[in-house]
Chain A
Amino acid sequence: MLAGHRTWIFEHKPVILSTGTVGGPFEANGAIAEDFDLLHADLWLGQDSYEKAHKVLFEEACQKAMEKGGIQKDQVQFILAGDLINQITPTSFASRTIGSPYFGLFGACSTSMEGLALGAYIVNTKGAKYLLTGASSHNTAVEKQFRYPTEYGGQKPPTAQWTVTGAGAALLSDSGDGPRVTSATIGRVIDMGLTDPFNMGGAMAPAAVDTIEAHLKERNVEPSYYDLIVTGDLGQIGREVSMDLFKKHGTPISEEQYQDCGLMIYREGQPVLAGASGAGCSATVVYGHLLNRMKKGEFKRMLVVATGALLSPLSFQQNETIPCIAHAVSIEYGGDQLT
Protein backbone atom coordinates (compact mmCIF):
# COMPACT_ATOMS: atom_id res chain seq x y z
CA MET A 1 0.00 0.00 0.00
CA LEU A 2 1.28 3.46 -0.88
CA ALA A 3 1.35 5.99 1.95
CA GLY A 4 2.10 9.58 1.04
CA HIS A 5 4.28 9.99 -2.01
CA ARG A 6 7.02 7.39 -1.66
CA THR A 7 6.36 5.14 1.32
CA TRP A 8 5.15 1.56 1.15
CA ILE A 9 3.31 -0.03 4.08
CA PHE A 10 3.59 -3.83 3.97
CA GLU A 11 0.30 -5.15 5.34
CA HIS A 12 1.45 -8.77 5.29
CA LYS A 13 4.76 -7.93 6.96
CA PRO A 14 7.27 -10.15 5.10
CA VAL A 15 9.53 -12.15 7.40
CA ILE A 16 13.31 -12.16 7.38
CA LEU A 17 13.60 -15.94 7.85
CA SER A 18 17.38 -16.05 7.99
CA THR A 19 20.48 -14.12 7.04
CA GLY A 20 24.06 -14.81 5.98
CA THR A 21 26.99 -12.50 6.69
CA VAL A 22 30.57 -12.95 5.51
CA GLY A 23 33.58 -10.77 6.24
CA GLY A 24 37.29 -10.32 5.61
CA PRO A 25 40.36 -10.04 7.85
CA PHE A 26 39.75 -6.45 8.90
CA GLU A 27 36.20 -7.28 9.93
CA ALA A 28 37.45 -10.37 11.78
CA ASN A 29 39.54 -7.96 13.82
CA GLY A 30 36.64 -5.59 14.31
CA ALA A 31 34.04 -4.87 16.95
CA ILE A 32 31.28 -7.28 15.87
CA ALA A 33 33.24 -10.26 14.59
CA GLU A 34 31.06 -12.78 16.50
CA ASP A 35 28.04 -11.69 14.48
CA PHE A 36 29.55 -12.87 11.19
CA ASP A 37 28.69 -16.35 9.92
CA LEU A 38 31.97 -16.67 8.06
CA LEU A 39 35.22 -14.75 8.29
CA HIS A 40 38.17 -14.97 5.93
CA ALA A 41 41.83 -14.56 6.84
CA ASP A 42 42.84 -12.79 3.65
CA LEU A 43 41.38 -10.76 0.83
CA TRP A 44 41.88 -13.37 -1.91
CA LEU A 45 39.52 -16.14 -0.71
CA GLY A 46 41.55 -18.58 -2.78
CA GLN A 47 40.88 -16.68 -6.00
CA ASP A 48 43.36 -15.02 -8.34
CA SER A 49 41.79 -11.59 -8.47
CA TYR A 50 40.03 -9.27 -6.04
CA GLU A 51 36.93 -9.15 -8.20
CA LYS A 52 36.60 -12.93 -8.16
CA ALA A 53 37.03 -12.93 -4.39
CA HIS A 54 34.28 -10.28 -4.21
CA LYS A 55 31.96 -12.67 -6.08
CA VAL A 56 32.73 -15.47 -3.62
CA LEU A 57 31.80 -13.21 -0.68
CA PHE A 58 28.28 -12.76 -1.95
CA GLU A 59 27.88 -16.39 -3.00
CA GLU A 60 28.79 -17.52 0.50
CA ALA A 61 26.45 -15.02 2.16
CA CYS A 62 23.53 -16.30 0.07
CA GLN A 63 24.45 -19.91 0.72
CA LYS A 64 24.59 -19.28 4.47
CA ALA A 65 21.22 -17.54 4.41
CA MET A 66 19.61 -20.42 2.52
CA GLU A 67 21.29 -23.01 4.77
CA LYS A 68 20.09 -21.31 7.96
CA GLY A 69 16.61 -20.89 6.50
CA GLY A 70 16.42 -24.56 5.46
CA ILE A 71 15.76 -23.65 1.83
CA GLN A 72 17.22 -25.09 -1.38
CA LYS A 73 18.37 -22.66 -4.04
CA ASP A 74 15.74 -23.80 -6.54
CA GLN A 75 13.04 -22.69 -4.08
CA VAL A 76 14.22 -19.08 -4.23
CA GLN A 77 12.05 -17.04 -6.59
CA PHE A 78 14.32 -14.04 -7.01
CA ILE A 79 17.67 -12.58 -6.05
CA LEU A 80 17.71 -8.78 -5.62
CA ALA A 81 21.25 -7.57 -5.00
CA GLY A 82 24.15 -5.44 -6.10
CA ASP A 83 27.61 -4.11 -5.35
CA LEU A 84 29.92 -1.22 -6.26
CA ILE A 85 32.00 -2.80 -8.99
CA ASN A 86 31.52 -1.77 -12.64
CA GLN A 87 28.50 -3.47 -14.18
CA ILE A 88 27.93 -5.17 -10.75
CA THR A 89 29.80 -8.20 -12.11
CA PRO A 90 30.55 -9.86 -8.73
CA THR A 91 26.85 -10.04 -7.86
CA SER A 92 25.88 -11.16 -11.37
CA PHE A 93 28.51 -13.89 -11.40
CA ALA A 94 27.45 -15.02 -7.92
CA SER A 95 23.86 -15.19 -9.14
CA ARG A 96 25.05 -17.32 -12.02
CA THR A 97 26.27 -19.84 -9.43
CA ILE A 98 23.11 -19.66 -7.34
CA GLY A 99 20.94 -19.88 -10.44
CA SER A 100 17.75 -18.16 -9.29
CA PRO A 101 16.05 -15.43 -11.35
CA TYR A 102 17.97 -12.25 -10.74
CA PHE A 103 17.44 -8.50 -10.50
CA GLY A 104 20.77 -6.65 -10.46
CA LEU A 105 20.56 -3.43 -8.46
CA PHE A 106 22.78 -0.40 -8.20
CA GLY A 107 22.32 2.08 -5.37
CA ALA A 108 25.97 2.39 -4.41
CA CYS A 109 26.11 1.85 -0.65
CA SER A 110 22.31 2.12 -0.34
CA THR A 111 21.83 -1.11 -2.33
CA SER A 112 21.11 -3.25 0.74
CA MET A 113 17.94 -1.35 1.63
CA GLU A 114 16.99 -0.79 -2.01
CA GLY A 115 16.96 -4.59 -2.29
CA LEU A 116 15.11 -5.11 1.00
CA ALA A 117 12.44 -2.53 0.10
CA LEU A 118 11.80 -4.00 -3.36
CA GLY A 119 12.05 -7.57 -2.05
CA ALA A 120 9.55 -6.90 0.71
CA TYR A 121 7.17 -5.31 -1.79
CA ILE A 122 7.36 -8.38 -4.04
CA VAL A 123 6.80 -10.81 -1.14
CA ASN A 124 4.03 -8.64 0.33
CA THR A 125 2.07 -8.68 -2.94
CA LYS A 126 2.46 -12.48 -3.15
CA GLY A 127 4.92 -12.12 -6.02
CA ALA A 128 7.34 -14.52 -4.37
CA LYS A 129 7.38 -17.15 -1.63
CA TYR A 130 11.12 -16.98 -0.97
CA LEU A 131 13.42 -14.17 -2.02
CA LEU A 132 17.11 -13.45 -1.42
CA THR A 133 18.31 -9.87 -1.10
CA GLY A 134 21.64 -8.38 -0.14
CA ALA A 135 24.70 -6.35 -0.98
CA SER A 136 28.45 -6.73 -0.82
CA SER A 137 31.74 -4.87 -1.18
CA HIS A 138 35.45 -5.71 -1.22
CA ASN A 139 37.97 -3.16 0.02
CA THR A 140 40.76 -3.58 -2.50
CA ALA A 141 38.49 -4.22 -5.51
CA VAL A 142 36.69 -0.95 -4.75
CA GLU A 143 39.90 1.00 -4.12
CA LYS A 144 41.32 -0.29 -7.41
CA GLN A 145 38.27 0.97 -9.28
CA PHE A 146 37.42 4.21 -7.51
CA ARG A 147 40.67 5.48 -6.13
CA TYR A 148 44.24 4.24 -6.45
CA PRO A 149 46.03 0.89 -6.79
CA THR A 150 46.20 -0.65 -3.36
CA GLU A 151 49.98 -0.35 -3.03
CA TYR A 152 50.04 3.26 -4.19
CA GLY A 153 51.33 5.75 -1.68
CA GLY A 154 48.42 8.16 -1.62
CA GLN A 155 47.78 9.84 1.70
CA LYS A 156 44.14 9.64 2.80
CA PRO A 157 42.65 12.65 4.59
CA PRO A 158 40.86 12.23 7.94
CA THR A 159 37.46 12.53 6.23
CA ALA A 160 38.02 9.37 4.17
CA GLN A 161 36.30 6.08 5.00
CA TRP A 162 37.33 2.41 4.83
CA THR A 163 35.41 0.14 2.48
CA VAL A 164 34.15 -3.00 4.17
CA THR A 165 35.12 -6.38 2.74
CA GLY A 166 31.89 -8.21 3.38
CA ALA A 167 28.57 -9.47 2.12
CA GLY A 168 25.17 -9.63 3.80
CA ALA A 169 22.19 -11.53 2.43
CA ALA A 170 18.65 -11.98 3.83
CA LEU A 171 16.09 -14.63 2.98
CA LEU A 172 12.60 -13.10 2.88
CA SER A 173 9.40 -15.10 3.05
CA ASP A 174 5.69 -14.53 3.48
CA SER A 175 5.48 -16.76 6.56
CA GLY A 176 7.60 -18.08 9.41
CA ASP A 177 9.15 -16.61 12.51
CA GLY A 178 11.58 -13.76 12.46
CA PRO A 179 11.91 -10.00 12.31
CA ARG A 180 9.35 -8.48 9.98
CA VAL A 181 9.70 -5.79 7.34
CA THR A 182 6.85 -3.38 7.96
CA SER A 183 7.43 -0.38 5.68
CA ALA A 184 9.89 1.29 3.34
CA THR A 185 10.50 4.82 2.08
CA ILE A 186 12.32 5.24 -1.22
CA GLY A 187 14.92 7.97 -1.53
CA ARG A 188 15.26 10.76 -4.06
CA VAL A 189 18.61 11.78 -5.53
CA ILE A 190 19.87 14.66 -3.41
CA ASP A 191 22.88 16.77 -4.38
CA MET A 192 24.25 19.53 -2.19
CA GLY A 193 27.05 20.42 -4.58
CA LEU A 194 29.86 18.71 -2.70
CA THR A 195 32.75 17.49 -4.80
CA ASP A 196 35.29 15.79 -2.52
CA PRO A 197 35.30 12.03 -3.14
CA PHE A 198 37.23 11.62 0.11
CA ASN A 199 34.33 13.03 2.13
CA MET A 200 31.34 10.82 1.34
CA GLY A 201 29.71 11.26 4.73
CA GLY A 202 29.29 14.99 4.29
CA ALA A 203 27.80 14.46 0.83
CA MET A 204 25.33 11.75 1.89
CA ALA A 205 23.94 13.25 5.10
CA PRO A 206 21.28 15.44 3.40
CA ALA A 207 19.92 12.41 1.53
CA ALA A 208 19.58 10.47 4.80
CA VAL A 209 17.81 13.38 6.49
CA ASP A 210 15.46 13.84 3.53
CA THR A 211 14.41 10.18 3.50
CA ILE A 212 14.08 9.87 7.29
CA GLU A 213 11.90 12.96 7.59
CA ALA A 214 9.74 11.87 4.64
CA HIS A 215 9.35 8.43 6.24
CA LEU A 216 8.28 9.80 9.62
CA LYS A 217 5.77 12.11 7.97
CA GLU A 218 4.31 9.59 5.53
CA ARG A 219 4.14 6.68 7.96
CA ASN A 220 2.75 9.16 10.49
CA VAL A 221 4.98 8.19 13.41
CA GLU A 222 7.12 10.14 15.82
CA PRO A 223 10.86 9.34 15.90
CA SER A 224 10.31 7.82 19.35
CA TYR A 225 8.35 4.99 17.71
CA TYR A 226 11.71 3.55 16.72
CA ASP A 227 14.19 2.23 19.27
CA LEU A 228 16.95 2.65 16.72
CA ILE A 229 17.38 4.75 13.59
CA VAL A 230 20.55 3.49 11.98
CA THR A 231 22.23 4.85 8.85
CA GLY A 232 24.40 2.78 6.54
CA ASP A 233 27.73 4.56 6.34
CA LEU A 234 27.55 8.23 7.13
CA GLY A 235 30.61 7.91 9.32
CA GLN A 236 31.56 10.40 11.97
CA ILE A 237 31.15 13.55 9.88
CA GLY A 238 27.93 12.55 8.14
CA ARG A 239 26.35 11.50 11.43
CA GLU A 240 27.18 14.80 13.14
CA VAL A 241 26.02 16.93 10.22
CA SER A 242 22.73 15.03 9.98
CA MET A 243 22.13 15.51 13.73
CA ASP A 244 22.68 19.25 13.13
CA LEU A 245 20.11 19.17 10.32
CA PHE A 246 17.59 17.30 12.51
CA LYS A 247 17.97 19.92 15.21
CA LYS A 248 17.56 22.67 12.65
CA HIS A 249 14.38 21.12 11.26
CA GLY A 250 12.99 20.40 14.72
CA THR A 251 12.95 16.62 14.24
CA PRO A 252 13.35 15.10 17.74
CA ILE A 253 15.89 12.34 17.17
CA SER A 254 18.19 11.61 20.09
CA GLU A 255 21.92 10.86 20.00
CA GLU A 256 21.50 7.39 21.58
CA GLN A 257 18.77 6.44 19.13
CA TYR A 258 20.65 7.59 16.03
CA GLN A 259 23.46 5.20 15.13
CA ASP A 260 25.58 4.45 12.07
CA CYS A 261 26.68 1.03 10.80
CA GLY A 262 29.96 2.52 9.63
CA LEU A 263 30.80 3.43 13.22
CA MET A 264 29.78 0.06 14.67
CA ILE A 265 31.70 -2.44 12.62
CA TYR A 266 35.28 -1.60 13.60
CA ARG A 267 37.11 -1.14 16.89
CA GLU A 268 38.95 1.92 18.15
CA GLY A 269 42.50 1.63 16.96
CA GLN A 270 41.73 0.23 13.53
CA PRO A 271 42.90 2.80 10.97
CA VAL A 272 39.53 3.57 9.44
CA LEU A 273 39.62 7.39 9.59
CA ALA A 274 36.01 8.67 9.55
CA GLY A 275 34.35 5.24 9.63
CA ALA A 276 33.46 2.28 7.45
CA SER A 277 31.62 2.43 4.15
CA GLY A 278 30.71 0.25 1.20
CA ALA A 279 27.62 -1.63 0.09
CA GLY A 280 28.64 -4.45 2.38
CA CYS A 281 28.77 -2.19 5.44
CA SER A 282 25.05 -1.77 6.05
CA ALA A 283 24.33 -5.29 4.79
CA THR A 284 26.70 -7.05 7.18
CA VAL A 285 25.94 -4.90 10.23
CA VAL A 286 22.15 -5.03 9.82
CA TYR A 287 21.77 -8.64 8.71
CA GLY A 288 24.23 -9.86 11.32
CA HIS A 289 24.79 -7.77 14.42
CA LEU A 290 21.59 -5.69 14.55
CA LEU A 291 19.15 -8.48 13.75
CA ASN A 292 20.90 -10.71 16.33
CA ARG A 293 20.35 -8.07 18.98
CA MET A 294 16.76 -7.69 17.85
CA LYS A 295 16.11 -11.43 18.07
CA LYS A 296 17.55 -11.46 21.61
CA GLY A 297 14.91 -8.87 22.48
CA GLU A 298 17.24 -5.94 22.99
CA PHE A 299 15.01 -3.68 20.91
CA LYS A 300 11.79 -4.03 18.99
CA ARG A 301 11.68 -1.50 16.17
CA MET A 302 14.44 -0.17 13.96
CA LEU A 303 14.58 2.01 10.90
CA VAL A 304 17.54 1.19 8.66
CA VAL A 305 18.56 4.00 6.31
CA ALA A 306 21.23 2.89 3.85
CA THR A 307 23.01 5.80 2.17
CA GLY A 308 24.77 5.84 -1.17
CA ALA A 309 26.94 8.28 -3.15
CA LEU A 310 26.16 7.98 -6.84
CA LEU A 311 29.44 9.14 -8.34
CA SER A 312 31.99 7.43 -10.57
CA PRO A 313 35.72 8.05 -11.05
CA LEU A 314 34.88 9.59 -14.43
CA SER A 315 32.22 11.94 -13.08
CA PHE A 316 34.76 13.25 -10.59
CA GLN A 317 37.30 13.87 -13.35
CA GLN A 318 34.63 15.77 -15.25
CA ASN A 319 34.19 18.08 -12.26
CA GLU A 320 30.72 16.79 -11.45
CA THR A 321 29.32 17.11 -7.93
CA ILE A 322 28.31 14.10 -5.84
CA PRO A 323 24.58 13.18 -5.90
CA CYS A 324 23.44 10.87 -3.11
CA ILE A 325 20.46 8.74 -2.16
CA ALA A 326 19.11 7.03 0.96
CA HIS A 327 16.52 4.26 1.26
CA ALA A 328 14.78 3.55 4.57
CA VAL A 329 13.25 0.22 5.64
CA SER A 330 11.59 -0.46 8.99
CA ILE A 331 12.15 -3.82 10.67
CA GLU A 332 10.12 -4.86 13.72
CA TYR A 333 10.12 -7.87 16.05
CA GLY A 334 7.93 -8.44 19.06
CA GLY A 335 6.02 -5.54 20.57
CA ASP A 336 2.97 -3.83 19.09
CA GLN A 337 3.27 -3.15 15.42
CA LEU A 338 1.42 -0.51 13.47
CA THR A 339 -0.88 -1.94 10.83
Chain B
Amino acid sequence: MSNNQKKQLTPVQQEYQKLQKQREIKRPVVKNCIKAFLTGGLICLIGQLISDFYIYYFDFTEQTAGNPTVGTLIFIAMLLTGFGVYDRMAQFGGAGTAVPVTGFGNAVISPAIEHRSEGFVLGVGGNMFKLAGAVILFGVFSAFVIALIKTILIQWGGL
Protein backbone atom coordinates (compact mmCIF):
# COMPACT_ATOMS: atom_id res chain seq x y z
CA MET B 1 0.00 0.00 0.00
CA SER B 2 1.53 3.37 -0.97
CA ASN B 3 2.04 6.15 1.52
CA ASN B 4 -0.57 8.20 -0.29
CA GLN B 5 -3.24 5.66 0.61
CA LYS B 6 -2.00 5.52 4.19
CA LYS B 7 -2.52 9.28 4.54
CA GLN B 8 -6.11 8.90 3.36
CA LEU B 9 -6.97 6.62 6.28
CA THR B 10 -9.14 8.15 8.97
CA PRO B 11 -7.87 8.25 12.58
CA VAL B 12 -10.32 5.44 13.45
CA GLN B 13 -8.91 3.27 10.68
CA GLN B 14 -5.32 4.03 11.60
CA GLU B 15 -5.99 3.19 15.23
CA TYR B 16 -7.66 -0.09 14.32
CA GLN B 17 -4.82 -1.07 12.01
CA LYS B 18 -2.33 -0.51 14.83
CA LEU B 19 -4.43 -2.73 17.10
CA GLN B 20 -4.80 -5.39 14.43
CA LYS B 21 -1.08 -5.46 13.73
CA GLN B 22 -0.46 -6.60 17.30
CA ARG B 23 -2.67 -9.65 16.84
CA GLU B 24 -1.59 -10.48 13.29
CA ILE B 25 0.51 -13.63 13.28
CA LYS B 26 3.88 -12.51 11.96
CA ARG B 27 5.41 -14.39 9.07
CA PRO B 28 8.41 -16.40 10.26
CA VAL B 29 10.83 -14.60 7.93
CA VAL B 30 14.07 -16.20 9.10
CA LYS B 31 12.63 -19.71 9.13
CA ASN B 32 11.13 -19.16 5.68
CA CYS B 33 14.44 -17.87 4.32
CA ILE B 34 16.29 -20.90 5.63
CA LYS B 35 13.70 -23.23 4.10
CA ALA B 36 13.86 -21.31 0.80
CA PHE B 37 17.65 -21.52 0.81
CA LEU B 38 17.66 -25.27 1.36
CA THR B 39 14.90 -26.02 -1.12
CA GLY B 40 16.18 -23.70 -3.84
CA GLY B 41 19.74 -24.84 -3.34
CA LEU B 42 18.66 -28.46 -3.63
CA ILE B 43 16.79 -27.85 -6.86
CA CYS B 44 19.80 -26.06 -8.33
CA LEU B 45 22.05 -28.91 -7.20
CA ILE B 46 19.79 -31.39 -8.95
CA GLY B 47 19.95 -29.11 -12.00
CA GLN B 48 23.73 -29.28 -11.89
CA LEU B 49 23.65 -33.09 -11.76
CA ILE B 50 21.26 -33.23 -14.71
CA SER B 51 23.46 -30.78 -16.62
CA ASP B 52 26.56 -32.91 -16.03
CA PHE B 53 24.62 -36.00 -17.07
CA TYR B 54 23.86 -34.40 -20.41
CA ILE B 55 27.47 -33.27 -20.86
CA TYR B 56 29.02 -36.67 -20.14
CA TYR B 57 26.49 -39.03 -21.68
CA PHE B 58 25.30 -36.94 -24.60
CA ASP B 59 27.02 -34.52 -26.93
CA PHE B 60 26.32 -31.35 -25.01
CA THR B 61 28.86 -28.80 -23.88
CA GLU B 62 28.75 -26.60 -20.84
CA GLN B 63 27.25 -23.84 -22.94
CA THR B 64 24.56 -25.92 -24.62
CA ALA B 65 23.60 -28.19 -21.70
CA GLY B 66 21.41 -25.45 -20.26
CA ASN B 67 18.52 -26.07 -22.63
CA PRO B 68 17.96 -29.81 -22.07
CA THR B 69 18.51 -29.27 -18.34
CA VAL B 70 15.74 -26.71 -18.18
CA GLY B 71 13.49 -28.97 -20.25
CA THR B 72 14.13 -31.90 -17.92
CA LEU B 73 13.47 -29.82 -14.81
CA ILE B 74 10.17 -28.61 -16.24
CA PHE B 75 9.23 -32.20 -17.07
CA ILE B 76 9.84 -33.09 -13.45
CA ALA B 77 7.76 -30.07 -12.42
CA MET B 78 4.92 -31.37 -14.57
CA LEU B 79 4.95 -34.72 -12.79
CA LEU B 80 5.12 -33.13 -9.36
CA THR B 81 2.35 -30.68 -10.22
CA GLY B 82 0.16 -33.33 -11.79
CA PHE B 83 0.49 -35.66 -8.81
CA GLY B 84 -0.46 -32.86 -6.45
CA VAL B 85 2.95 -32.73 -4.76
CA TYR B 86 4.36 -29.41 -5.95
CA ASP B 87 1.96 -27.20 -4.00
CA ARG B 88 2.82 -29.04 -0.78
CA MET B 89 6.54 -28.64 -1.44
CA ALA B 90 5.91 -24.97 -2.10
CA GLN B 91 4.12 -24.40 1.21
CA PHE B 92 7.39 -25.54 2.81
CA GLY B 93 9.93 -24.07 0.41
CA GLY B 94 8.25 -20.78 -0.57
CA ALA B 95 10.56 -18.92 -2.94
CA GLY B 96 12.79 -22.00 -2.99
CA THR B 97 10.25 -23.64 -5.26
CA ALA B 98 8.95 -20.52 -7.01
CA VAL B 99 12.23 -18.95 -8.14
CA PRO B 100 13.88 -21.87 -9.94
CA VAL B 101 12.66 -22.58 -13.44
CA THR B 102 10.57 -25.43 -12.02
CA GLY B 103 8.43 -22.70 -10.47
CA PHE B 104 7.90 -21.18 -13.89
CA GLY B 105 6.89 -24.58 -15.21
CA ASN B 106 4.49 -25.06 -12.31
CA ALA B 107 3.00 -21.63 -12.96
CA VAL B 108 2.15 -22.64 -16.53
CA ILE B 109 1.17 -26.26 -15.88
CA SER B 110 -1.11 -25.70 -12.87
CA PRO B 111 -3.64 -23.39 -14.56
CA ALA B 112 -3.58 -25.64 -17.62
CA ILE B 113 -4.60 -28.63 -15.50
CA GLU B 114 -7.10 -26.58 -13.51
CA HIS B 115 -8.96 -25.00 -16.40
CA ARG B 116 -9.42 -28.15 -18.43
CA SER B 117 -13.01 -28.13 -17.18
CA GLU B 118 -13.53 -25.11 -19.41
CA GLY B 119 -12.27 -26.88 -22.51
CA PHE B 120 -8.89 -26.91 -24.22
CA VAL B 121 -9.26 -23.73 -26.23
CA LEU B 122 -10.82 -21.22 -23.85
CA GLY B 123 -9.93 -23.00 -20.63
CA VAL B 124 -6.45 -24.43 -21.05
CA GLY B 125 -5.32 -22.08 -23.82
CA GLY B 126 -6.95 -18.98 -22.43
CA ASN B 127 -5.65 -19.39 -18.90
CA MET B 128 -2.27 -21.01 -19.33
CA PHE B 129 -0.27 -17.84 -18.94
CA LYS B 130 -2.28 -16.12 -16.30
CA LEU B 131 0.48 -16.51 -13.73
CA ALA B 132 3.57 -16.71 -15.91
CA GLY B 133 2.60 -14.04 -18.40
CA ALA B 134 4.04 -11.27 -16.28
CA VAL B 135 7.44 -12.99 -16.15
CA ILE B 136 7.54 -13.40 -19.91
CA LEU B 137 6.36 -9.83 -20.48
CA PHE B 138 8.87 -8.21 -18.17
CA GLY B 139 11.68 -10.52 -19.21
CA VAL B 140 11.24 -9.78 -22.89
CA PHE B 141 10.58 -6.10 -22.50
CA SER B 142 13.45 -5.41 -20.12
CA ALA B 143 15.79 -7.47 -22.32
CA PHE B 144 14.66 -5.43 -25.29
CA VAL B 145 15.37 -2.12 -23.57
CA ILE B 146 18.72 -3.26 -22.20
CA ALA B 147 19.89 -4.80 -25.47
CA LEU B 148 18.72 -1.73 -27.37
CA ILE B 149 20.63 0.66 -25.12
CA LYS B 150 23.71 -1.50 -25.15
CA THR B 151 23.68 -1.88 -28.93
CA ILE B 152 23.25 1.84 -29.46
CA LEU B 153 26.09 2.56 -27.02
CA ILE B 154 28.33 0.07 -28.78
CA GLN B 155 27.55 1.38 -32.26
CA TRP B 156 27.90 5.03 -31.36
CA GLY B 157 30.23 5.07 -28.41
CA GLY B 158 32.56 2.21 -29.26
CA LEU B 159 31.96 0.49 -25.91
Contact = CB atoms under 8 A, between A and B. Distances in A.
Do chains A and B stick together as partners?
A: yes
B86 A192 contact: no
A205 B118 CA distance: 37
A155 to B, nearest CB: 4
Contacts of A152: 87, 90, 106-107, 110-111, 131
B86 A151 contact: yes
Interface string A191-203: 1111100010010
Nearest to A274: B25
Interface stretch (A23-31, A62-70, A82-90, A156-164): A156-164
B13 interface: yes
B87 A194 contact: no
Contacts of B115: 149
A258 to B, nearest CB: 14
B5 interface: yes
A159 B9 CA distance: 23
Given A49-B117, A149-B111, A202 B131 contact: no
A220 interface: no
A151 B114 contact: yes
A237 B91 CA distance: 20
B3 to A, nearest CB: 13
A40 interface: no
B148 to A, nearest CB: 30
Interface in A152-194: 152-159, 191-194
Given A148-B131, A159-B25, A199-B24, A153 B114 contact: no
Interface in A270-319: 271, 274, 319
A150 B93 CA distance: 17
Interface in A42-74: 48-51
B113 to A, nearest CB: 6
B159 to A, nearest CB: 40
A144 interface: yes
Contacts of B106: 151-153
Interface in B21-37: 22-28, 32
Interface of A: 48-51, 144, 148-159, 191-195, 199, 202, 205-206, 236-237, 240-241, 244-245, 248, 271, 274, 319
29 contacts: A48-B117, A149-B113, A149-B114, A149-B131, A150-B87, A151-B81, A151-B106, A151-B109, A153-B81, A153-B86, A153-B87, A153-B98, A153-B110, A155-B32, A155-B90, A155-B98, A156-B91, A157-B25, A158-B27, A191-B13, A193-B9, A195-B1, A205-B20, A206-B16, A237-B23, A241-B19, A241-B23, A245-B16, A274-B25
Closest 3 CB pairs of A and B: A153-B90, A49-B117, A149-B114
Interface of B: 1, 5, 9, 12-14, 16-17, 19-20, 22-28, 32, 81-82, 84, 86-87, 89-91, 93-95, 97-98, 103, 106-107, 109-111, 113-115, 117-118, 131
